[in-house]
Amino acid sequence: MKGWWIDTGKKDDILTVNALILDERAKRDIKGESINSRIEGRVEVGEGTKIVDSTVRGPTVIGSNCLIENSYIGPYTSIGDNSKIIDSAIEYCVILNDVKIKGIERLEDSLIGRYAKVLSGEMNRRILKLHIGDHSEVLL
């Protein structure tokens, strides 16, 4: 085996590997649509994704058919296909497919499973660090 190897059995290990891969492989490739938004650095955006009134800073990868609206996506974040990030700020996170995050002031150092929902009725004043599995729901 050549190169580095990390056992990704824990959340922190997955986040570390995500950061290493983004550092090594992320490139600027915007296939989706950016409306009134800033996209800075090495950011990959999949087809069918809309970034509206938001800021995205790389290295970051956003999958296909996502909606990023009125949000901040910080470095070292990977977002899976069909996810929605609305009125939220996230950084140094791995967000899997079909996730909805809405009204979260700051989500960092987090791993969010498929089909999970992290929702707040109004913007809260918390920094969240979560590790939640598939189909989970967090209501604040």
In a domain, 53, yes or no: yes
Tens of pLDDT, residue by residue over 16-32, are: 889 999 999 999 999 99
- Total structural domains within the chain: 1
Tens of pLDDT, residue by residue over 46-100, are: 999 999 999 999 999 999 999 999 999 999 999 999 999 999 999 999 999 999 9
Peptide bond into 75 cis (omega under 30): no
The Cβ of residue 30 has, within 10 Å, a number of other Cβ atoms equal to 15
Distance CA 68, CA 63 (A): 11
3-state helix, strand, coil in the chain (%, to 5): 10, 40, 50
In a domain, 106, yes or no: yes
* CATH, residue 111: 2.160.10.10
Q: Are 50 and 65 in contact (CB under 8 A)?
A: no
Could you give the count of Cα atoms lying within 13 Å of 12 in the half-sphere of its Cβ?
A: 0
Between 42 and 131, whose confidence is greater?
42
Q: Which of 26, 30, 36, 28 is nearest to 49 (CA)?
A: 30
In a domain, 75, yes or no: yes
In a domain, 18, yes or no: yes
Domain that residue 91 falls in: 11-139
- pLDDT tops 90 at residue 9: no
In a domain, 79, yes or no: yes
In a domain, 1, yes or no: no
In a domain, 132, yes or no: yes
pTM of the entire structure? 0.90
Q: Which two tokens stand for residue 115?
A: 């089909």
The CA-CA-CA angle for residues 125, 53, 74, to 5°, reads 55
In a domain, 95, yes or no: yes
